[in-house]
Amino acid sequence: MENKEDLEREHSGRYVAIRREQIVAIGRTIHEVYAILKELHIKNPLVAYIPKEGEEALLI
């Protein structure tokens, strides 16, 4: 899997889904990512937002 710097550079401002150390979906919204995951029949991935430079991520 890519390192943190690569993820930030290539996917900033997007949501990514990761499963078994592989990026399996990328989208501008979380809904877009979950639609892709549903089409691919992928369950229980880690879905995370990759913040843009200067943007902070909210962790809940």
Q: Is residue 60 part of a domain?
A: no
What are the tokens at 9?
């550079």
At 28 the pLDDT is 97
13: left (phi over 0), alpha (psi -120 to 50) or beta: left
Q: Is residue 12 part of a domain?
A: yes
What are the tokens at 30?
């979380």
Helix then strand count (H, E) for the chain reads 2, 3
Q: Is residue 35 part of a domain?
A: yes
Q: Is residue 57 part of a domain?
A: no
Say whether pTM exceeds 0.85: no
Q: SS3 of 50, please?
A: strand
Q: Which domain holds residue 21?
A: 4-50
What is the domain count for the chain? 1
Contacts of 33 (CB under 8 A, 6+ apart): 15, 16, 17, 25, 26, 27, 47
At 56 the pLDDT is 73
pLDDT, one tens digit for every residue, the chain (60 residues): 567 788 888 999 999 999 999 999 999 999 999 999 999 999 999 999 999 888 776 666
